[in-house]
Amino acid sequence: MSATPKVVCEKPKLPTLWLDTSVIIKLTKVKLGEKLQPVEVARLTRLRTLVQELVAAGKLIFPQSDQEEEYVVGAANRRDSEIHRDFLGLSLGVKMQHRQGIFDWQAQLGMEAYAKSSDTINVGVDAFFYGDPADELEQARKRNIVIGTHPTRLPEILAGRDAAKVQVLEIWEQLRQEFVAKKRPYEEQLEAEKCGYADAMAYKVEEWEKKLATGVPDSWALMDVQGFLMFRAVWKDLGGKPDGLEGLHKYFRSDYHNNLPTPKIGNQLGADLLTGNEVIQSGDVMDVGLLSIAIPACHYVVTDNRQRKRIKDRGIDKDWGTEVYSMSDIDGLFQQLEKLR
């Protein structure tokens, strides 16, 4: 078994563009005539024109991912609905899998490779999309309507999501302050990130089994551990060794897991945030999750200036052959998109 397997990640056969939620929101603001800086209006108008033309011609994939979780903030309102409708129309309904599903899929690919002592892990397009997005776009272009889903607006789900965001932000910023005070280097935190998922899994499964031994745990306790229980079942089916939680824990701490696209990028961006001098902002933690699926799956990614700098400083864009831009240097993206016309 190779200690560090080669990971080959496939991108769609058509150029694929992913946009940060802030850009999606501003695209709709311009459409609604809301006031923005003239330079922003000019760039966003050009971006919309290129996306509309190239997607309609079947030359560009412009997928939705989980941006909805950031722009849907409460009860139905005009802006949220307009953003959702606008994004759906621009994408023609092409959508990536939810980021948790993408993580789970890749983890199972890694588990299988680990169990078989494979030297290479092939991560296909279907690890990110519902099938082939180029084929999905072609079918969408033939229809007279755009097929999509309504955004989630159940009050209890939205309230839980918002509360979790606040709690996670507070925890991350507290950790960042502690690590900066201790002058903890990025490399040390990166190694800790590589062990974090495995250690959390082992702890939660052990706690679950203790609760199960004393009675029937509530549904919330099950939801907290069901992903780990699924992995344990898959590990058993694969004949992974060592058996049970011990073997699974070793897998999740290995390079078979931590070199997979989404875990690797998530670890890198997380470690960078937690050891950086900048205060962690409200969208930063979500950006880690979204960028960890967008960068390996797409040819072009537009994010904010801060995240773009992190990505380039760590060489993440080069690792996965992705061109990463922000709105301040988006002219480089325009040049690439113009070539597709």
pLDDT tens digits, one per residue of 301-339:
999 999 999 999 999 999 999 999 999 999 999 999 999
pLDDT of residue 2: 60
**Number of C-alpha atoms within 13 angstroms, CB side, residue 124?**
7
> Residue 250: is its pLDDT beyond 70?
yes
Q: CA-CA distance, 69 to 286, in Å (whole number)?
A: 9
- Distance (Å, whole) CA 106 – CA 110: 6
Please compute the mean of the pLDDT values over residues 23-38 and round it to a whole number: 95
Write out pLDDT tens, residues 231-245. Answer: 999 999 999 999 999
pLDDT of residue 121: 98
The pLDDT of residue 332 is 97
Residue range 263-284: mean pLDDT, rounded: 97
Position 251 pLDDT exceeds 90 = yes
- Give the span between the Cα atoms of 19 and 2, in whole angstroms: 36
Tokens of 105: 């899929």
Q: What is the mean pLDDT of the chain?
A: 93
- Look up residue 211 and give its two tokens: 């609760």
- The band of 157, judged by pLDDT with boundaries at 50, 70 and 90, is confident
Query: Would you state the pLDDT for residue 167?
Result: 93
* Spatial CA neighbour of 254 closest among 113, 61, 44, 95: 113
Mean pLDDT throughout 98-121? 97
Q: Is the pLDDT of residue 109 over 90?
A: yes
> What is the model's pLDDT at position 262?
98
The pLDDT of residue 217 is above 80: no
pLDDT at 314: 97
Distance CA 275, CA 175 (A): 9
105-127 average pLDDT score: 97
The confidence band for 59, taking pLDDT boundaries of 50, 70 and 90, is very high
Using CA atoms, how far apart are residues 326 and 333, in angstroms rounded to an integer? 9
- Give yes or no for residue 64 having a pLDDT over 80: yes
Q: What mean pLDDT do residues 275-283 have? A: 95
pLDDT for res 212? 82
Give the residue-averaged pLDDT of 183-200.
96
- The pLDDT assigned to 256 comes to 97
Of the listed ranges 30-39, 206-215, 304-313, the least confidently predicted one is: 206-215
69-107 pLDDT, tens digit per residue, is: 888 765 445 688 899 999 999 999 999 999 999 999 999
Peptide bond into 242 cis (omega under 30): yes
